[in-house]
Copies of this chain bind each other. A is one copy, B any other.
Amino acid sequence: MKARVVYFVTGNIGKVSEVVKMADPDIKIEQIDYDYPEIQVDELEEVASYGAKHSSQTLGKSIIVEDSGLFIDALGGFPGPYSAYVFKTLGNEGILKLLRGESCRTATFRSVVGYCEPGGEPLLFVGSVDGVITGEMRGEGGFGYDPIFASGERTFGEMLLEEKNEISHRRGAFEAFLDWFKKSG
């Protein structure tokens, strides 16, 4: 049986190896570098949808893109689709300052995988994990908002990478994609 190939448009090798581990051996995930325009909209879904279609049209391949963000309820969903920019400018300190004195600390990490074939329309697969924003940073693991996002007792920063990957929003989205892709073959 010939392996089916999907190209993952990303500059992040870590994300690629995460999905490669999840995929059956007859599904080949290959990284491809392409700087597709990320559109400025308030929904991850639109970013992934536009990026997937644009990339597959330009590259002429079946591709996936992934976009994720942290949505904090007390802040109207902020930083949401702009999580990377906000982390770069305000960092975890800024988020903690914004939530100072705030009793509602619930938040959701969301991930959206967009898949598109040349000439086709994009399909979206969503994963999410609920948690709370802690009062201070905890843990040395992970990256980005991981030290202030707790799922259960521990923050993502206090978990081993393997533990985090078991429950992560990204895993949920990729599993949904792989399930569908397998059946579609």
**Chain A interface (Cβ within 8 Å of chain B)?**
37-42, 47, 50, 75-78, 80-82, 85-86, 88-90, 94, 97-98, 100
B82 and A40 contacting across the interface, CB-CB below 8 Å = yes
Cα of A78 to Cα of B50 in the assembled complex, Å: 25
A41 and B42 contacting across the interface, CB-CB below 8 Å = no
- How many Å from the CB of A70 to the closest CB on chain B? 12
Selected contact of A40 from candidates B40, B94, B98, CB within 8 Å: B40
- How many Å from the CB of A155 to the closest CB on chain B? 22
Given contacts A38-B41, A81-B40, A82-B85, contact A76 B97 (CB under 8 A): no
- 13 A-B pairs with C-beta separation under 8 A: A37-B37, A37-B50, A39-B39, A40-B81, A75-B89, A76-B88, A78-B85, A78-B86, A80-B85, A82-B82, A90-B98, A94-B98, A97-B100
Which of A39, A47, A77, A80 has its CB near the most chain B CB atoms (within 10 A)? A39
B89 and A76 contacting across the interface, CB-CB below 8 Å = yes
9 additional A-B pairs beyond A40-B40, A76-B90, A78-B89, beta carbons within 8 Å, are A37-B40, A40-B47, A42-B88, A78-B85, A78-B86, A80-B89, A82-B82, A82-B85, A94-B98
> Chain B residues with Cβ under 8 A from A97's Cβ?
97-98, 100
A78 and B90 contacting across the interface, CB-CB below 8 Å = yes
> Chain B residues with Cβ under 8 A from A81's Cβ?
40
- How many Å from the CB of A68 to the closest CB on chain B? 13
B94 and A77 contacting across the interface, CB-CB below 8 Å = no
Cα of A37 to Cα of B47 in the assembled complex, Å: 10
A39 and B38 contacting across the interface, CB-CB below 8 Å = yes
Cα of A38 to Cα of B42 in the assembled complex, Å: 11
Closest to A102 in B: B97
